[in-house]
Amino acid sequence: MKLPKFRSEDEEHEFWARHDVEDLDQEELTEVRLDAVRPRRLALPVRIDQRTAALLKRLARRRGIPPSALVALWIHEKLGRDGDGPPSRNG
């Protein structure tokens, strides 16, 4: 089967809901390689006392996330509220 020309995204959605790439003529297909680009992240060491660290771990455990993820969330929330707008998620 040849890949049809679609007139709309809805038409394309309907086609892929009924078909699989295996249904197409394999000679028509072109291999494509995509490089996944991850945003650069910076590790920022912060010194806190043991009592604060214990509280942080407890709060993070309640949310089911690592303490570093909780701190990152708080930083994004604070910068988004008090900064020039929401911080970029691209690193």
In the structure, what pLDDT confidence band is assigned to residue 86 with cuts at 50, 70 and 90? low
How many Å apart are CA 33 and CA 36, to the nearest integer?
10
User: Crossing angle of helices 50-63/67-82, nearest 10°?
Assistant: 90
Q: Tell me, what's the pLDDT at 60?
A: 95
The pLDDT tens digits for 16-48 are: 999 988 888 888 888 888 888 888 888 899 999
DSSP-derived letter for residue 8 is S
Q: What is the CA radius of gyration of the chain?
A: 24
